[in-house]
């Protein structure tokens, strides 16, 4: 930081002036806090830059660290400038990452780029706990649970994978139940914010080419199916979905509703009304 090109310092200080003249007020509290932190760090950095000497009249288009009475004092000025720079850069990066995760930051190149659009694949799976709270995620199977099962606890899983180069925030996750009703009714089931062990599972932010799993108790899904059947509806198939922080919804492929029943049955072995898949439909039995 003993010398800073004007091509760097001028845009930095111009950005501070623009942000102070037209304050940003985000509804998103996390983003607003990150923006305020960045603005404070930017002001501190510009304060250090404004204390340097413009020597462009001498030829080099740079700001140069001022020369106080001793080299020790000049080194201290440089240390302060470096500290301000090192505080601003991560604060700026945090804001950009949050904007990208919500799909609000786009490069204005004048040419649309498919690589910048969110790209998610969504799958419906099951999981059981193997031991030491390690959960094994596997495909759903109408034939029952796979070998290696040690007795639960069991979970229904929505698995999302980010195939794009931009980070994405997942705001919500769940499943839709197609009841083949008139008007194309799709009954929603939203996964809870808290997953196994009370750990927060929503909303996460997926980095580029990263994956995420949201867990739900199959017993709760069974209760939702039972409620639909009790209302005279016939659940036919189920598909997973996720909703991004930017409001984009991504759906996974449909799975026959009957494929969920082995998982629901072992997850809720207590006596009582039960959802059963018959030759033609789901129905209730005691």
| CB of 5 closer than 8 Å to CB of 61 | yes
Considering the domain architecture, whether residues 151 and 10 belong to the same structural domain is answered as no
Structure-token pair, residue 227: 């409620």
- With a cut of 70, say whether residue 184 has pLDDT above it: no
Mean residue pLDDT of the chain comes to 79
- Tell me which residue range forms the domain holding 49: 3-101
Considering the domain architecture, whether residues 151 and 256 belong to the same structural domain is answered as yes
Per-residue pLDDT band for 1 (boundaries 50, 70, 90) equals: confident
For residue 206, tell me if it sits in a domain.
yes
Considering the domain architecture, whether residues 146 and 259 belong to the same structural domain is answered as yes
Q: What is the pLDDT of residue 252?
A: 92
Residue pointed to by tokens 């623009």: 18
Structure-token pair, residue 63: 């700001």
Considering the domain architecture, whether residues 171 and 84 belong to the same structural domain is answered as no
Q: What is the pLDDT of residue 195?
A: 84
Q: What is the pLDDT of residue 176?
A: 92
Considering the domain architecture, whether residues 79 and 205 belong to the same structural domain is answered as no
Considering the domain architecture, whether residues 73 and 124 belong to the same structural domain is answered as no
For residue 110, tell me if it sits in a domain.
no
- With a cut of 80, say whether residue 117 has pLDDT above it: no
- Can you state the percent helix, strand and coil of the chain, rounding each to 5? 35, 30, 35
- SS3 (DSSP) at 164: coil
Digit-coded pLDDT (tens) for 235-270:
889 999 998 887 888 999 998 888 888 888 877 655
For residue 270, tell me if it sits in a domain.
yes
Q: Can you tell me the distance from the alpha carbon of 11 to that of 90, in angstroms, rounded to the nearest whole number? A: 18
**Length of the chain, in residues:** 286
Considering the domain architecture, whether residues 132 and 250 belong to the same structural domain is answered as yes
**pTM, whole model, 2 decimals?**
0.54
Q: Can you tell me the distance from the alpha carbon of 148 to that of 128, in angstroms, rounded to the nearest whole number? A: 9
205 CB-contact burial (10 Å; exposed 0-12 / middle 13-18 / buried 19+): middle
Structure-token pair, residue 207: 């980095």
Q: How many domains does the chain have?
A: 2
Q: What is the pLDDT of residue 146?
A: 55
For residue 191, tell me if it sits in a domain.
yes
Mean pLDDT of 183-198: 81
Per-residue pLDDT band for 272 (boundaries 50, 70, 90) equals: very low
| CB of 172 closer than 8 Å to CB of 189 | no
Considering the domain architecture, whether residues 203 and 248 belong to the same structural domain is answered as yes
| CB of 201 closer than 8 Å to CB of 215 | yes
Mean pLDDT of 159-164: 86
Out of 101, 129, 151, a domain closes at 101
- SS3 (DSSP) at 12: helix
Please name which of 6, 76, 81 lies closest in space to residue 45, comparing C-alpha atoms: 81
**What's the Rg (C-alpha) of the chain?**
28
Per-residue pLDDT band for 232 (boundaries 50, 70, 90) equals: confident
For residue 25, tell me if it sits in a domain.
yes
Considering the domain architecture, whether residues 46 and 89 belong to the same structural domain is answered as yes
- Pick 114 or 256 by higher pLDDT: 256
CA 64 to chain centre: 42
Out of 70, 101, 132, a domain closes at 101
Considering the domain architecture, whether residues 210 and 264 belong to the same structural domain is answered as yes
| CB of 100 closer than 8 Å to CB of 166 | yes
């Amino acid at each position: 930081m003993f010398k800073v090109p004007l091509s760097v310092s001028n845009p930095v200080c111009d950005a501070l002036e623009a942000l102070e003249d037209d304050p940003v007020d985000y509804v998103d509290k996390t983003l607003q806090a990150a923006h305020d932190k960045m603005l404070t760090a930017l002001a501190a950095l510009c304060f250090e830059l404004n204390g340097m000497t413009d020597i462009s009249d001498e030829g080099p288009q740079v700001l140069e660290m001022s020369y106080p009475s001793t080299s020790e004092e000049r080194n201290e000025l440089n240390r302060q400038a470096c500290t301000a720079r090192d505080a601003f850069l991560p604060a700026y990066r945090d804001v950009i990452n949050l904007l990208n995760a919500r799909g609000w930051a786009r490069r204005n190149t004048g040419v649309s780029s498919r690589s910048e659009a969110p790209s998610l694949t969504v799958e419906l799976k099951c999981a059981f706990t193997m031991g030491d709270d390690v959960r094994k995620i596997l495909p759903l199977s109408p034939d029952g649970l796979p070998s290696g099962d040690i007795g639960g606890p069991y979970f229904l899983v929505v698995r999302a994978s980010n195939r794009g180069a931009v980070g994405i925030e997942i705001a919500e996750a769940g499943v839709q139940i197609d009841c083949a009703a008139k008007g194309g009714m799709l009954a929603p089931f939203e996964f809870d914010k808290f997953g196994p062990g009370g750990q927060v599972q929503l909303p996460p932010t997926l980095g580029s080419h990263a994956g995420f799993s949201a867990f739900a108790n199959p017993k709760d899904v069974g209760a939702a199916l039972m409620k639909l059947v009790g209302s005279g509806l016939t659940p036919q198939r189920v598909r997973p979905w996720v909703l991004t922080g930017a409001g984009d919804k991504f759906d996974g492929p449909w799975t026959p509703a009957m494929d969920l029943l082995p998982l629901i049955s072992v997850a809720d072995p207590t006596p009582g009304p039960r959802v059963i898949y018959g030759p033609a439909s789901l129905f209730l039995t005691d």
